[in-house]
Copies of this chain bind each other. A is one copy, B any other.
Amino acid sequence: MKISVHAMSVELLASALSNLSAVLEKGHAHAVARKFDPAVLLAARLAPDMFPLTRQVQIATDVAKGGAARLAGREPPKFEDNEQTFEELRTRLARTIDFVKSTPASALEGAEDRDIKLPARDRTLEFKGLEYLQRFVIPNVFFHSTMAYAILRHNGVELGKKDFLTGNGPAF
């Protein structure tokens, strides 16, 4: 009854981000087909004090690259948070997927017991690797990916759960 940290971090996160990229592609195509500025969707929110679509994607990638990096004892790359278009967001997703997949399997040796220190606004959060993955990395990446999907769907983009679960890949 043992599975690898690699399967539940690198594989799971890369798959979630790749599906999110396919969801964004549909959002972009929708704006182009309806002839409205795609930036309207990038700035859309579900509530006035929630983050817009662009920020949801930025956070999903930040948590994924930070997660894969910290579990492997590596430094995550810093991105500038200056994306203005769907293409730029999808490039950010591709860069994140590449980084996540570059995690050496050997570096995840013992990751479940690694002491993780996560700088937060006013303090440092501390986790063991397993709890960090279970309760922080995975829930956060799916939360922000789903929120991106929800913003697009709420704004009329034709999406189904197949897009979220398998993206451009074959259906189950």
Interface residues of A (CB under 8 A from B): 1-8, 11-12, 15-16, 46-47, 50, 105, 108-112, 125, 127, 130, 134-136, 138-140, 142-143, 146-147, 149-150, 153-154, 156, 161, 164-166, 172
- Complex Cα spacing A4 to B16, Å: 21
A161 to B147, CA, bound (A): 12
**Is A1 touching B165 in the complex (CB atoms < 8 A)?**
no
* Copies of this polypeptide in the complex: 2
Check if B6 sits within 8 Å of A1, measured CB to CB. Answer: yes
A1-B105, A47-B154 known; A8 and B6 CB under 8 Å?
no
Q: A103 to chain B: closest CB distance in Å?
A: 11
A164 to B135, CA, bound (A): 10
Chain B nearest CB from A96 CB (Å) reads: 17
Contact yes or no, B4 A136, CB < 8 A: no
From residue A138, how far is it (CB to closest CB) to chain B in Å?
Answer: 7
User: Is B135 touching A1 in the complex (CB atoms < 8 A)?
Assistant: no
CB of A111 within 8 A of CB of B1, answer yes
Which residue of chain B has its CB nearest to the CB of A169?
A: B135
Q: Are A164's CB and B139's CB within 8 A?
A: yes
Partner of A146, one of B1, B111, B146: B146
